[in-house]
Chains A and B, each alone.
Chain A
Amino acid sequence: MNLDQLGYHEQNLIWTGLTVLFIIVTSTIVGLIASFILRMAGASEQEQRRAFWGFSFAGPWIVGFLIFVLGPAIASFYYSFTDYKVGQPLKWIDIENYRTLLLGEGAHGRRFKQALFNSFYYTIIGVPLQIMASLGMALMLNREGFGIRWFRTVYYLPVILAGSPAALLAWRYMLNPNGGFINEALKRFAEAFFVFDYLYRGFIYIFEGFNGFYIGITRGNPVGPLKYTLPAVIAVLVLLALLGEWTRGKRSLATRSAELLSIAVAYNMMSIGLVSTRVDLSWTYFFGLLLLALVIANGAQGKRLLVKVWQIGGLSMVALSAFMTLRRADYALDNPDAQKYLIALLLVAAPIVVSFFGVWDRRKLQMMGGLAVILVLIILIRVIPGQLDGDGLRPIGSYLTFGTTIKDAKDVDYLEDIHPYEYLSVHWVYGLVILSLMGIALLNNYPRQRHYLLGGSLAFFGLLALGSFLDGQAYFNAFDDIAKAAGRPNYHFALFHQVTDVFPDKDRVPLWMNNELWSKPSLVLITMWSSGAGMLIFLAALKGVPRSLYEAAEVDGANTLQKFFKITLPMISPAMFYNVVIGMIAALQTFESVYILRTTQNEDSLASAAYFLFVRTFRQLSIGQGAAASWILTVIIVTLTILQFRYSQWVNYEV
């Protein structure tokens, strides 16, 4: 029988019948497999029967998942290691796609890096604002009264409309810098109230300065000594929080902060070092030391699961490094560089392997501490002659004494050379922060020593933060002076300088979608408008807060703010957690709004990671690199989600 000889309707009927048949057959097979597995495991007849029927009915979903989700996912994972372009022969290229994207190499790598930064902007700036907007709306609507349901509907409506092209285009009209509703309203207010005028221009000044700086970083503009300021400020903030009476929560804060920073450093090293040429061996040892410290810290606290995670995760990374080393075209076992690197990896892996054996008693801790000291000695032997003389630790010493590293700056190229953006030396500061925090956590039972370490670290990182900030300022000024003297525009953080050199004139307006300084905030604004879904979740949570808690607080004399922060927020924290997780995932997957609102002027500043992979895959037909981008995005989303669950102690599930 030839189906093509039949009419369309008959063909459709037959295909529908065959599809139903396929679903029945495959679902039954799923049930039979489940039943068979249980029989092998020695389950009773009744359990087998239950499994058969249960899995048979779940079969359509399971089969659908295998065919439409798992199958394509495996295929895309495979493609991500190839140079698959539609119409061209497919070639296996190892991790070349990942390397290009993570290192930001070439036009595509650079654009992916920028797209990732844009997605982070939507996440870090957009999600908190969206949460605040939805919580604010929920608090306003959490009362009974005439027409309240109507208001709730009105506030929810944008959720349905937000993704529609018509609503997004309406936003584009409203956000038109010249004559758009929003700017016209702002202008009228500014004309009517001079105080508002100054506040408004001040807001533009700060906002454009912040966005100009952010864009500079995304473009890879070197930030000079300021890159040392960030880890130092993080350290100061965490250390300040650890001051005062020592509690279990503070110990946990020290450990978890160290863990988070370690993950960040490990990720950075993975992206910069592991997939690029090769990591300096000092970094390999330092990375091993960090891993070992995390294993010891968790082992000392009896956290078996976390010990396993760091042991297995660490060894996997070591194995991957060794594998990649040998996969490199110019590396083989007889290559001296490869041999050195493999020996370093062995030395890093050895203490972690040792940590698998025995129970975590005092003796084992001492032994592990001894192995850590050996790694420290190796690092010091490697570092002291090379790094003190070079650009590694020297700047840190300079900042501690408020010295500067740019005294003899002659031209812009020189400045860029001494403070390149991806320079790894800043990781020494991150490493010191991690070691300091882990040391404080390990000195749990030694209050005096802990006190000294805490005070010393605070002074050290405080000086480092201040010194590097002052030098950062000198660096920026030097850049300006040199550029002006040379009569060339200042391309270093050009947008930042354009908007911060002069305070906005009276007629300045936000340029919204027409300018890269404002395009991302515009998108965040539109996202905030559609915060109704989060509002509904908050509204339901607010309804569940027992009235008796407020009454008890009122009896104790609590004011409105105290009731909000001590009762409302903790009680709705599960809803908050849900909104944060969902909001973050949605923000990292931002696509439709970018697709509709992009123009020639704002495309690069608006493009999200999801938009990048769409363009790369479906516009430019580079399936391999598009697949790699999608897997990187997946790993980021999964990692951030796991971290959110891991650090969700602030969520209160008690009623």
Chain B
Amino acid sequence: MKRVLSLLVLAVMAFGLLPLGGNTAPEPAVAQDQDTLEIYITGLTEDTLNWFRDVAFPAFREAKGDDSLQLEILTGGWGDFDVTVAGWITTGEGPDIVYLGSEYAATYGDLLADLDPYLADWEELDQFLPAALDTVTWDGHLRGLPLLMSPRPIFYRTDLAADPEAVPPMTFEDALSFVEANSAVADGAMQQMGFMDIGSGLFDAQEFIAYIWSAGGELYYEDGTSAFDSEETAEALQYMYDRRRIMMPTETTAGLPPIEGYPIASGSVVSGIFPMWNMPATSDPIWENIAIAPYPAGANGEPVVQVFIDWLSVPEYVEDPSLAVDFLKFIGSQENAIALSTVAGFTPVRQDAWEELRSNNPVWDQLLQAAVDYGRAFSDIRASAELRPLIVEQVNLYLSDQQSLEDTQLFLKEEYDAILEENGYLD
């Protein structure tokens, strides 16, 4: 019985190997890949995905004149983004186009294809906001094409402000006075916040970087080492600390009650940093009482508006990026940039796509003007996945009176330098 079974198994094995062993010479991978274009898109709405699927791609197929071309959209959130993309990059197999956030050029660097040979001569590239192109550049080479942008200014409620004339404060000093005049604490809990950051707490890592910039500082010295020991970093930290102590006299002060809906419309928040998707629709009458302004500046700095860029990249494992790049150019055209920003609720990165938006909508007009006047792209953040937890840990210790300013700067500097070295950013 066992012998019969063994023979049977061997026969089955031989049969199983047939399709593999009898494989004829494989056709070039390029030819197969070009039948289906796979795109990984993160954090966009269903409407936007439908626009890609039902509007943009059929038009692209028609433009290419290839009816056999298929589009497959893989979706995911920012929560599982790193795991997903790391899996593809580790195995060298995944979608042809990957949607990335602002700081990812430095994270993935050479793991993304150099698109200079495909995009350098593209005349429409001049229309893209230079800060946006900087965001997608790594080691002097374009690694993708900017898709959407989200300027992140400070919004002020002029109707709630104790002194509307004081809006907007443009220096750290004025900003502290503004927060003091517009914050209230009673019964051990906040009743009104003069300022709320994007995480609804009193500190955010991206905001901290913005204040270093607006204090006139940088994250890195010319030799690539961290500049967390600079005077500008100290000024930014001190500003955030003073602001916190105004709104939260002790660390045991409770925060605001839960806010339903948009924080800026709650009546208990006078100013704050919010992405546009967490602000009322631009048609809402409340915008008549909302002012848009940059982050205040330090003694030797200039006000800043952080600009976040979402972009499309082509991973290095894609053997022939030409089809993917064609799709990027197609999506990045003026017409598609306007259509996509309308459906996605973001701002296009092409300046020739702004005209209509600005003339039709005063809110977008103000926002884009702020981006033009004060915009700085949130880019070239090296080893960002490791920097964020370091900032959160160290700055939280300082802000909650558990560590001195000097020690905080020292630890930030030392440990970020070690991280930069470990990740190959320092020689």
**B24 surroundings in chain A (CB, below 8 A):** 1-2
CA distance A515 to B386 in the complex (A): 23
CB-based contact B254/A25 at 8 Å: no
What distance in Å separates the Cβ of A23 from its nearest Cβ neighbour in chain B?
Answer: 11
Contact A600 B385, beta carbon cutoff 8 Å: no
**When the two chains form their complex, are residues B199 and A619 in contact, meaning their CB atoms are under 8 A apart?**
no
Residue of B13, B254, B402 touching A514 (CB-CB under 8 A): B254
Known: A1-B22, A21-B16, A618-B83. A111 touches B254 (CB 8 A): no
B393 touches A21 (CB 8 A): no
**Residue contact A25 to B13, C-beta cutoff 8 Å:** yes
A21→B402 contact, CB < 8 A: no
B12 with A621: CB separation less than 8 A: no
Given A178-B257, A489-B404, residue A24 in contact with residue B9 (CB < 8 A): yes
By the criterion CB–CB under 8 Å, are B385 and A620 in contact?
yes
A1, A52, A173, A178: the one contacting B256 at CB < 8 Å is A178
Binds A, one of B133-141, B183-191, B321-329, B365-373: B183-191
A622–B180 alpha-carbon span in the complex (Å): 43
Determine whether A636 belongs to the interface, using a CB cutoff of 8 Å to chain B: no
Cα-based distance from A495 to B423 in the complex (angstroms): 34
- B2-39 contact mask (Cβ, 8 Å, vs A): 1 or 0: 10011001001101100100111011000010000000
Contacts of A178 in B (CB 8 A): 189-190, 254-257
Contacts of B390 in A (CB 8 A): 107
B73 in contact (CB, < 8 A): no
Residue pair B254, A87 in contact (C-beta under 8 Å): no
Chain B CB within 8 A of A511 CB: yes
Indicate whether A601 reaches chain B with its CB closer than 8 angstroms.
Answer: yes
Q: Smallest CB–CB gap between B318 and chain A, Å? A: 15
Report B-chain residues with C-beta under 8 Å of the C-beta of A245. none
- Given A49-B2, A603-B389, A621-B82 in contact, is the A21-B188 Cβ separation under 8 Å? no
| Contact digits for A504-526, partner B, Cβ 8 Å, 1 yes 0 no | 11011101001110000000000
In the complex, whether A343 has a CB less than 8 A from a CB of chain B is no
List chain A residues, Cβ under 8 A from B396.
Answer: 600-601, 604
Contact between B19 and A14, CB atoms less than 8 A apart: yes
Whether A618 contacts B189 by the Cβ 8 Å rule is no
- A32 touches B (CB below 8 Å): yes
B5 touches A28 (CB 8 A): yes
**A264 touches B (CB below 8 Å):** no
CB distance from A112 to the nearest CB of B (A): 12
Evaluate contact between B23 and A86: CB separation under 8 angstroms. Answer: no
Whether the Cβ atoms of B32 and A4 lie closer than 8 Å is yes
B252 touches A508 (CB 8 A): yes
Q: Does B201 sit at the interface, judged by CB under 8 A? A: yes
Among candidates B111, B257, B385, B415, residue contacting A619 with C-beta atoms closer than 8 Å: B385
Q: What does the 1/0 interface line of B57-75 toward A look like (CB < 8 Å)?
A: 0000000000000000000
Cβ of A267 under 8 Å from chain B: no
Given A35-B2, A107-B415, A615-B389: A601 in contact with B254 (beta carbons within 8 A): no
Does A142 count as interface, using CB distance less than 8 angstroms?
no
Q: Which of B110, B189, B419 has the most CB of A within 10 A?
A: B189
Known: A2-B26, A2-B27, A600-B392. A176 touches B415 (CB 8 A): no
Binary CB contact string for chain A from 193 to 223 against chain B (1 if under 8 A, 0 otherwise): 0000000000000000000000000010000
Q: Which of these, A1, A22, A508, contacts B188 with CB under 8 Å? A: A508
B251 located at the interface, meaning its Cβ lies under 8 Å from any Cβ of chain A in the complex: yes
17 residue pairs A–B, Cβ–Cβ below 8 Å: A2-B27, A3-B19, A21-B12, A25-B16, A85-B423, A107-B386, A107-B389, A111-B393, A176-B255, A178-B257, A491-B403, A494-B401, A495-B402, A601-B201, A603-B392, A618-B86, A619-B385
Q: Closest 8 CB pairs between A and B? A: A179-B257, A177-B254, A507-B188, A494-B402, A107-B415, A618-B83, A507-B187, A178-B254
Instruction: Supply 11 further A-B pairs (C-beta < 8 A) apart from A111-B389, A621-B82.
Output: A14-B19, A18-B16, A25-B13, A85-B423, A107-B393, A176-B257, A491-B402, A601-B396, A618-B82, A618-B83, A619-B82
